[in-house]
Amino acid sequence: MSKIKFGTSGWRGIIAEDFTFENVRIVTQAIADYLKDTKESEKGVVVGYDSRFLGERFAREAVSILLGNGIKSYLTKGPTPTPVISLEILRRKAGGAINFTASHNPPEYNGLKFSSSWGGPALPQATREVEILANKMLEKGTAYCRVPLEEAIDNGLCEEIESHEFYMQALEEKIDMSSIRKAGLKIAADLLYGAGIGYLDKAFESAGCEIKVLHNRYDPWFGGKAPDPSEKNLAELAQVVKSGGYNLGLAVDGDADRFGVIDADGRYIEPNYIIALLLDYLVRVKGLRGGAARSIATTHLIDAVAEKHNINVYETPVGFKYIGELIKEDKIIIGGEESAGLSIKGHVPEKDGILACLLVAEMVAVEGKTIGGLLEDLYKSVGRFVSARENIEIDVSAMGNLSVKMKEPPTLFAGFAVNNMRTAEDGGIKIFLAGGSWLLMRGSGTEPLVRLYGEARSKENLERIMKAGRDFITG
């Protein structure tokens, strides 16, 4: 039996292979033990799920285990976005949350995300302790405590909750809906069959937008592909935007914590650029002050914008939990990752794709320009940045050799002098090159592949360093 392993966004596995009811019971018992040790169990736990196969069944089973341990549960009604669950933790002052989601992963996966009482994803120390407890149970066959859900509901130990209204109110406090309404935006939205249904679409409807909605029914198979708002998966949305004369195409992933943006001309806009544009907008137009945060793999265009506005930049390891901490501590205006996750000052310390889409719409409405136009304006102010990311599959046996190679990078890379090198907390390596280019290589941790990230000041230079990166990894 494979061990329980938490990644950057929780424990994930293939349904019926790794992600089974028995393993869910064991991991939930481990979380219950951890919460009892830390005294957070007394506050209760929010339990939710997205539209994945068996999500509700897994959630109800988790509640049965929590109740068997005397821990009150708040079970969401229907598929619920991850940021909504985060808000419920804070609103109810709960001890944490268990959320059944595999986010943007393929449909054969499900996952369990454990969040802390401060509303963000549990930090590594907490998930390591849960891992240890769960794997001990796997080895020794330790029994878990379980109470039938129907009995618990009758006894008032489980409360079924409706979260939509409170979340929508929280968004209206942060988004200038009146400007969106005044601009009369035409929006096309792709909900990718996920938990964002009834949230993103209803927000634009309430703002009086003309809106066309794609894939707005729950489907645990997600139409046969991963519910990831990537350029490839949003090709249909791009065509709708371009042919229908829409101002924007906006999308969220399966649990609505990630976003995708299509400009008026049908062009997909990388999340890197969206985060930088929103930072500039929040400071220049909305007058917010504070720092900005980005992961080690995210564009340095954010740094250039921060320098323009004389604000600090915090670089974090990969994983939104670290950015969430900075939001909790009120240190930043916005924090984001190139993998399409962001949140802002005063909001939940968790990725929120719904918020991101509404902020983009507000920015376009207020500025009266396309995303492409705004990006060109920004480039005139701080210079051009071009970034890319690739997943490179390699044989498992080659991973060890790569680790050795990554410890001793060359002094010359892709024809550029290597100015500096830094090892990431997850074992990856970031190489800083002359002329402002950089390259990051990091292993997946769960799959036999290496994630390659690069950035340069021109497309030609980016292509050079990405090719050199591929050759370095596979050579």
Are 130 and 201 in the same domain? no
CATH code where residue 414 lies: 3.30.310.50
* CA dist., res. 341 & res. 322, Å (int): 12
Taking alpha carbons only, the member of 4, 87, 71 closest to residue 38 is 71
Query: What does each of the 475 residues of the chain score in pLDDT, given as a tens digit?
Result: 578 999 877 899 999 999 999 999 999 999 999 999 999 999 999 999 999 999 999 999 999 999 999 999 999 999 999 999 999 999 999 999 999 999 999 999 999 999 999 999 999 999 999 999 999 999 888 778 888 777 766 667 889 999 999 999 999 999 999 999 999 999 999 999 999 999 999 999 999 999 999 999 999 999 999 999 999 999 999 999 999 999 999 999 999 999 999 999 999 999 999 999 999 999 999 999 999 999 999 999 999 999 999 999 999 998 999 999 999 999 999 999 999 999 999 999 999 999 999 999 999 999 999 999 999 999 999 999 999 999 888 875 666 666 677 667 678 899 999 998 888 766 678 999 999 999 998 877 666 788 899 999 999 999 999 999 998 888 7
**Same-domain check for residues 342 and 430:** no
**How far, in Å, CA of 444 to CA of 190, rounded?**
28
Under a CB-based contact definition with an 8 Å cutoff, are residues 106 and 13 in contact? no
Instruction: Report DSSP state, residue 231.
Output: T
Dihedral angle, C-alpha 114, 165, 75, 108, nearest 10 °: -60
Local structure of 5: helix, strand or coil: coil
Backbone angles phi, psi at 256, to 5 degrees: 65, 25
Are the C-beta atoms of 413 and 433 separated by less than 8 Å?
yes
Question: Is residue 168 one of the residues assigned to a domain?
Answer: no
d(CA 96, CA 399): 36
Task: Indicate whether 111 and 157 sit together in one domain.
Answer: yes
Residue type present at position 303: D
Residue 364 lies in domain: 177-382
CB 3 within 8 A of CB 135: yes
Alpha helices by DSSP H, listed for 245-352, are: 271-284, 301-308, 320-328
Q: Does residue 346 belong to any structural domain of this protein?
A: yes
Residue 185, domain member (yes or no): yes
Calculate the alpha carbon distances from 126 to 13, 46, 130, 146 in Å: 20, 17, 6, 23
As given in the structure block, the two tokens for residue 465 are 């360093």
CATH number of the domain to which 282 belongs? 3.40.120.10
3-class DSSP state for residue 407? helix
Q: Is 40 helix (H, G, I), strand (E, B) or coil?
A: helix
User: Which residues share a beta bridge with 259?
Assistant: 252
Grouping H, G, I as helix, E, B as strand and the rest as coil, residue 262 is: strand
Two tokens at 125? 């120390």
Residues 48 and 127 in one domain: yes
For residues 374 and 395, state if they share a domain: no
Q: State how far the Cα of 247 lies from the Cα of 379, in Å rounded to an integer.
A: 21
Examine the fold and report which residue of 163, 187, 211 is the final residue of a domain before the chain moves on: 163
382, 405, 421 - which closes a domain = 382
In a domain, 264, yes or no: yes
Indicate if 228 and 367 belong to the same structural domain.
Answer: yes
User: String of b and e for 181-199 (b: at least 16 CB within 10 Å)?
Assistant: eebebbbbbbbbbbbbbbb
Domain boundary among 137, 163, 189: 163
Separation CA 394–CA 58 (nearest Å): 33
Please work out, in degrees rounded to the nearest 5, the angle formed at the alpha carbon of residue 358 by the alpha carbons of 101 and 201: 65
Residue 18's region, left for phi above 0, alpha for psi from -120 to 50, else beta, is alpha
DSSP letters along 153-190, please? HHTTSEEEE--HHHHHHHHHTTS-HHHHHHHT-EEEEE
CA-CA distances (angstroms) from residue 262 to 247, 268, 274, 370, 430?
9, 5, 11, 10, 30
Cα four-point dihedral sign 344, 346, 257, 119: positive
pLDDT, residue 83, reads 98
Residue 172 falls inside a structural domain = no
Whether 131 and 182 share a structural domain: no
Q: How far apart are CA 92 and CA 64, in angstroms?
A: 20
What is residue 34's predicted lDDT score, i.e. its pLDDT? Answer: 97
- Regarding whether 42 and 145 lie in a shared domain, the answer is yes
pLDDT at 181: 96
Instruction: Give the number of domains in the chain.
Output: 3
Q: Are 346 and 237 members of one domain?
A: yes
Q: Are residues 313 and 399 in the same domain?
A: no
